[in-house]
Each structure stands twice: as structure tokens, then as C-alpha cells.
Structure 1
Amino acid sequence: MSERRAYLYKGIGETVGVVTLDGRPERLVATWDGDDPLDAEGVRGVARVKKIERAFASAFVALPGGADILLPLRPDMPKLVEGQLVEIEIRAPSRRDKSAVARFIGEAEGEPRVLAHAPTIDELLRLWVKSGSPTQGLAALEAVEAAEAEALMTVFALPGGGDIAVEPTRALVAVDVDLGNRDGDSKKAARAANMAAFTTAARVLRLKGLAGLVVFDLVGRGHDGPALTTAARNAFAIDNPGVGLGPISKFGALEMIVPRRTRPILDRLLDETGGLSARAGALRLVRAFEREGRADPGGRLAGRCGPAVAEAFAALDAGLADKIGRRFTLSVVADWPNDRLEVSAS
């Protein structure tokens, strides 16, 4: 039977939650100081219609003090006009270069206002893992760092052999299944690899926060369509409501829709170039200072990093000093990338 465990790490400048499934990270969610509290799933409020794009069956609305939110228009909705007030709930937070998406609840009156804020990470963890309080402390930090490392991976091994590559594009998420060195009859091996791919991919997509159109490039030929679609449906059952599957094409591709509910964690961890973001590097640097500080309670700490990380670290400096004391220095190395960090004690 599958076992899920929850971990909650409250660090300087960040709060991070991890869910593991049978010891492997399945979910990784984070809030950073300075996040827009209105840009999160579950926020509900009265928003003003700013612009209507009937050609695209959508409108842009805004909560007071918030960014523009995309509101899809459905045939069963009343006809909206610009300036009107509507009650909405955010279903998917914004992604890089894409607005948050809301659902229409009803027409509203009064003034634009927030009616309900998003659940906290602690509340989300308790929703996903109904087994008491999440684990905190050092064990939680270790779970967070393990989850971050796996979220940054592209290729994931399958039980019994073979692997999948999970690669997001602007249009879809591609999952390529590879047979690898899986032994046995080739047709049976291909079937087993495809079956395992759905289970592994479902966990990885939740971990990365990826959703939308997902296309599996299955291995082998002559697929047992009903058996494979049943396996896919079972693997993604926890992501319902909203999961939809198409038939396996003659080219061996299975398309499915997975509802978007969280911001992809890679939007936080990576910058536009695909490298570690400066903010993520600064948070790693803070963790490293704390770790060395615990190992050497009275020692002086020296850190080194690149200029972008040092600039992001400036906002975290005071919080670190309050926690471990003003016993650390930071040197900037001009040509270091964001993922190169060093901390030592003396």
C-alpha cells in the first residue's frame, strides 16, 4: 500500500512543503517572502472586469491591488460588460508569461474585495496527507533539498528498467518512454515499461507542478489501448476532477489533459535561461550558512557566491543575522554562476 508523508520547512525568506510517496518526492510547493498573496489557487473575491476579448471567449479581471486574471467565458454565463463586478475563484496561479486563471462564480455588487485567501502550505499538506502534523526541522530541510534536486531532473528511471524523460514546452509537456535494458519478451517488456511510465510520470508531474496538455510517446507497437488508458487513468486519479484522456494514436502517442492547480516549481528554481535563479541561489546560501552555523556554533562563517545571488541575498541578510548572529561574511566572485556557492567555518 502506498505511503505518503508530509514535511514543512520554515526558513528565512521561504516556507516549503514536500509530500513523499513511498519515500520519493511527489509534491513540492513553496512561498517566498514578497509573493503576491492574491496570485494563488483558492483565492476568492469580487473582481472588476477590465477588458473583454470575445474573440477568445475570455475576459481580464482584477482584484483590488492584484494583477490581471484571465476569466474564461462559458456559454452558460451571463453576458459580461467592462466595469462590471463578478465573483471569481482563482483555479490556477500565474505562470511565467501567463496570467492566473479564474472561474466565474456569479455576478456581484459593492466594491472589489477579497473574500477568501489561499490555503497555507501547512493546510495544503494536511489536505494531501491526512496523517497528523507535517514533519519539521532538519528532516524537513533534507526532504526539501532532495525534492528540489529531483524536480530539476529530466530523466527518471522506471522500476524494472527503462526510463522516461519529462520535458515541458510552451504548448505541452512531452513524456518520452524508453525501454532501456529491460529484459524479457520485447512486447511484454514494452507493455510493462509503458504501464510503469504512467505511475512515475504522474508523480513527477505533481512534483514539478506541470499540467495542461501532456503527450506520452509510448514505446513499442501494437498497444493494448484499453489496458494502457486504464493504467493512465488510475495513475492520475488523484489529480481529478478534470483529467481527460484521448485514444492512443497510430504513431503510439497518448494525449491527456491534467488540470493546472499550482505554479510550476521550476518557475521559482530556474531563471529565463534555464539556470538556477538568483533568488533560489540566495535561499540555498542561507541554508548553507545555517547548516554550518549549527555544526560550529561559535565559529566565524565565510561565504562566496556570484553577483546576482549576492544581490538577492541582501534581502535575507538581516533575517539570517537575527537567527545565527552577525558572524558571517559574504564575498562576491564576478564570474560565478548562480548555482556555485561556498560556505565554510573558521
Structure 2
Amino acid sequence: MKFAVETRIGQTRAAAFSDDDLPVSVFVWRDRRLDPSARAGDVVPAIVRKVDKGTAECFVELQSGETGFYNLSSSKAAPTEGEKLNVRIRAEVWAEKSAIVSPVRSEPHLLHAEEALKHWMSGFGVGDGYEAYDESEARDRIDEAVDDAFQETVTLTGGGCLHIEETRALTAIDIDRAGRSARSSNADLNKDSLETLARQISLRRKAGLIVVDLVGSFRKDGGRELSAHIKEALRGYGLTGVTALPPSALGLMELSIPRRLRPLTAYHWIHCPEDRRLQEAAIELLQQLETRATEDRTARFEVSLRPDLADLVQQMAFNIPAALEFEFGGRFNFIRSPEAQSLFSHRSLS
């Protein structure tokens, strides 16, 4: 396993690559003033907002303002509404899904970037002495990994491809043998496809229900073998607790992946849900301006912001203009642009 690590203003990114140089996972960490959402592993204060004894669920409001829930224990007294407690984040808020939490007795603790990065790397069985790409290569390698994660069609090494489509309810995978040798069996194609799918699930941080349209028909033993194969492949990327049903009579395999981290789409200003769009656009703007200022150390820049983004930038706890000025000097002129069609634009004045 080899890693690329990059630290930028307000953000740390990293990517893990397999021995055959394929991306298998991406790490993203934002300064909490840029992204105040609770992270998996945090221990945070919470207030009980609703106790539903009928469904044995407790809903809490987290310090970040997000909602979390946990299942009540039959062996412990249920909390009362308004009660304060500390909870550990087991699964992060995503889209319309609340955080999954557990009540704890330990003191509040927010993970920091170095701690979270070390924990992420430990999932691949590495410690402090890991092999890393040179700093000059890191950004390009991470960008390559992110680009790979957003491909709708993934080509298999031995021919054939996976078509990946995300819907509101599930992620659909279609296996296509186009370009595959006629001598290659359906069994080999399915196994190769599931191995590639496991890497893509890890890379994209996919969770929830995944349905795979396999090639051919299956005897019971062959179907169980494929279920075990995908579970073992996912375990190799640190993904456990997976349910993998044998293929149906129609050749459909159903997977259920436990939710823990937000999917990678959450950190992309175009692919993220609408409720994160402005926040992700502000972070994208920061990264673009940092890149341009680094590449041209003398240029001055005019930055035009649509009013809704300008309001957010002004309200954020992380002062983007001040951070850029501290790093590069007063080379940025931010303008509120009521006529702007795009969220932001920037141009060099020299």
C-alpha cells in the first residue's frame, strides 16, 4: 500500500493505492470552521429531543445542530427529553439520514486532522512508517483517485466493464462483458467484476443497498461462492458487517454496506446534495484560489461571488479572505456580484 498526502489551507486530503497502483480509498479532512459537521469517532455533547419507546429509538440534537439517534436498550432506563449526555458518532449525517450515535460516559473529544489521518491509515494495516508519494506528485495522484471515484463506467483489467448508477434508494451495478475475450467464462467475469466493485465501494465510500446485475445463471453453490467472494474482497478494504445475498434466479446480487462515513460525493461542490452546495462551493473556491496564487506568485486576483455565496463566506467561522491574505498577501479583491450566473468566478488582474 502506498499513500499520497496533501495539506492545504483548511483541508487535508490523502489517497491510498494498492500494490498495482490502483486507488482504493480517499481521505478528506476539513477545518471544522469550514465544515462544522460531526465526524465519525467524535465524542460530542447532545440533548435528548425525542424518546420513542414504541420503536425503541432516542433522537438527540448534536452540538453541531445535526440530529442523531440510537436504539434504546431494554436493560437500561430510557433518558428523558431535555436530558444532556455525551455520544460517540458511529455514522455521520448524510443527506436525509441522521447520525448514528452511542451514549458514552467519556468526556467530549473532537478528532483532529493528524489523529483522523492516522486512524484511516491504520485501517490498511500500516503505522507511522508508510510508503508515500513525493510531495510534488501527491496532489495529482489524489486528483486521479477522486476522478476515478466519479466515473460512471469502470473498465475491468481483463476486459468488460461496470456501469454504476446511483438512485435515491440504492446503487445499481450492471456488468457488461463488452471487450472481454469470448474464451473468458461468465464465472471469471463475475469474480473480476466483484473484485473491482469492492475497490470502487471503498473508494467512493458507498453504503446502504447495492444491487449487482451479474452475468449468466447460477447453481446454489456458485451463488454462495460469489457472495463469500465479495465479502472477502470488501474485508480486505476494512469493510466489515456486510450482508451479501446469493444471486437471485434473475442473477441479481443484493449487498448491504453499513454506513459510517459520508460518501465522497459529499465533498464535491457539483455532486454533493443541495444542502451542502454553498459550503462545498466556498471550499472549492478556496482551493482554486490557493492553486492560482501558488502558481503565479505576483498576480493579483478579482473574485466575483454570487450574493448567496458571498453571504455564506462572510458568515463562516473560517475567514477565507483572511486565510488567503495571511498566506499570499493582499492579492485578492472579493466582489459581491448580483448579476452573476455562476456561484463564483475569478480572474487575474496582472
Instruction: Give TM-score, length-normalised by structure 2.
Output: 0.79
Within a 5 Å distance, the mapping from 1:245-256 to structure 2 comes to 245-256=244-255
Q: Per-residue CA shift, 1:257-289, capped at 9, x if unaligned?
A: 222121112123124469x94444444444343
Q: Which moved more, 1:223-232 or 1:152-161?
A: 223-232
Contact kept? 1:42, 1:119, Cα under 8 Å: no
What one-letter code is carried by the residue in structure 2 that aligns with 1:212? G
Match of 1:127 in 2: 122
SS of 1:239's equivalent in the other structure is coil
State the distance in 1 between where 2:212 and 2:266 align. Answer: 23
Within a 5 Å distance, the mapping from 1:32-47 to structure 2 comes to 32-33=30-31, 34=33, 39-44=38-43, 47=46
Match of 1:9 in 2: 6
Report the count of equivalent residues. Answer: 332
Question: Structure 2: 5+ residue runs without aligned partners?
Answer: none
Q: Per-residue CA shift, 1:282-326, capped at 9, x if unaligned?
A: 444443433343333334456677676666666422212221222
State the distance in 1 between where 2:279 and 2:37 align. Answer: 21
SS of 2:108's equivalent in the other structure is strand
Contact kept? 2:299, 2:348, Cα under 8 Å: no
* Change in CA separation of 1:36 and 1:277 when aligned onto 2, cut-off 3 Å: closer
Superposed displacement of residue 242, structure 1: 1.0
Match of 2:325 in 1: 321
SS of 1:115's equivalent in the other structure is coil
Superposition RMSD in Å? 3.4
Is the aligned partner of 1:140 residue 2:138? yes
Match of 1:82 in 2: 80
* Change in CA separation of 1:264 and 1:123 when aligned onto 2, cut-off 3 Å: same
Aligned-residue sequence identity (percent) comes to 25
What one-letter code is carried by the residue in structure 2 that aligns with 1:290? E
* Change in CA separation of 1:64 and 1:307 when aligned onto 2, cut-off 3 Å: closer
State the distance in 2 between where 1:244 and 1:301 align. Answer: 52
Is the aligned partner of 1:296 residue 2:289? no
Q: Which moved more, 1:141-150 or 1:246-255?
A: 141-150
Specify which of 84, 108, 115 is matched with residue 115 of structure 1: 108
* Change in CA separation of 1:119 and 1:165 when aligned onto 2, cut-off 3 Å: farther
Question: Structure 1: 5+ residue runs without aligned partners?
Answer: none
Contact kept? 1:59, 1:71, Cα under 8 Å: yes
Q: Per-residue CA shift, 1:79-113, capped at 9, x if unaligned?
A: 414245666422101001221001355xx6xxxx8
Contact kept? 1:6, 1:19, Cα under 8 Å: yes
Instruction: Give TM-score, length-normalised by structure 1.
Output: 0.80
